[in-house]
Structure 1
Amino acid sequence: MRQVVLITGGTSGIGMSLAEAYLKQGAAVAVCGRSQAALDRFSDAHPDALAIQADVTIDAARIAMLDAVANRFGRLDVLINNAGTFVERNFATGVNTTQDLEQEVALNLTAPIQLTSEALKRWPTMAAIVFVTSGFALVSPTRAPTYGAVKAGLHAFAEGLRRQLAPKGTHVLELLPPAVDTPMNATLPGKKMAPAKVAEITLKALANRQPMAMPGATRLLPMLLRIAPNAAQRMVAKM
């Protein structure tokens, strides 16, 4: 029986690469996004997948999305909470530092928690739940401290949820990608990892039931934070 996978923010970047990787494995895939144009392009390229227009910060939209998955596939095996946004905020300037803060927190933290809860109510023994956080969940970036805060919150939620769901056999994986070659990072200088490589590492981590997938440079962060925390802080300060 093929797996049924739902990926939020699945029409570009890491989300789309994960969708394509699962489709290659023969899985039944549903993605959601806010842009109908992006969803149409995804559907044209992947006609066997289900593309759903949904803003995951809206309660009714999440429920309708899960209804669409249930109507099409009958169940859900893997939920991948990937949708997110990166907002730079400089509190030293005191100018517009909290503009649209509620939306940032809702998309990056509250929505994945709510969607996870709603999915578990319907399918309490899902095979896996994935949270896409960031290396910034461990060391907050200077240029975007609220992004670090919400990703740290999601990191903590994934950790506690993993222990809660372990007796049911539901695997909780946290993906902490480095800088990835996505539209969100288009203006970011330096070397960036290909989204397809991140997807490959994620699926391998799921198969091996690892608690965390740390592609590229992020795999060094936990050790660096233990043995040279000041160096880790200096490295992130440049990001």
Structure 2
Amino acid sequence: MEKRFKTMKERPVTERPYEKCLEYGPEALSDGELLAVILRSGTRECSALELAWKILEKHPVYKGIAGLYHMRIGMLKEIPGIGDVKAIEILCILELSKRLSRASAVGEISFNSPDSIAAYYMETMRHLEEERVLLLLLDGKHHLRKEIFLSQGTADSAYVSVKTIFVEAFRHEAVHIILLHNHPSGCPEPSREDLVLTRRIREAGELLGIPLTDHIIIGDRCFTSLREQGMM
């Protein structure tokens, strides 16, 4: 009969995440082993490693480490052995990973480049399950003056007030503006509503002297720049 290891100490050294990390480095660890290190302990019924794999398989649609981005605290706590503390630790690690991704790109971001902007916001927005709209306020040299969270909606849409956009633009003395939002479907193709909203903002910006320089839609590892596509 195959032996079932109850604790990490009973496992071979090559299956102990801490020892494996010390010997070979964190890059040698599997997704489950990395998560097990964060969890630190399991339950009476399963080890930290077995608990980690249960978490990675928990989401009904998104499996593996990518599924963690779609987990909420309630879903995590449905797993025996995951309480408030462990659930919060996991969610904080995910948020940290997003911020590290943005921090690594911040020195290279150019707000004249849709590719650069999309790369900067990709990890923050591509996993969201509802539409979120951001307004980027730029100075005369296209440096970011302020990032404004405009709205959060459903999986299909989010309401945006054109008046609010230009109130914020004047308040922060913006010279140019960029609109940015995500499509939870993962497909960044603009909807009819996206195009109508873009036209309204562009026309208002022309009248008020604060031009809309782009509207970027974030998908899953892909994006659409309406400026680049000639849709503005």
Q: What's the TM-score, normalizing by structure 1?
A: 0.26
User: Which protein shows a greater Rg?
Assistant: 2
Question: Taking CA–CA contacts closer than 8 Å with sequence separation of 6 or more, which of the two structures ends up with the larger relative contact order?
Answer: 1
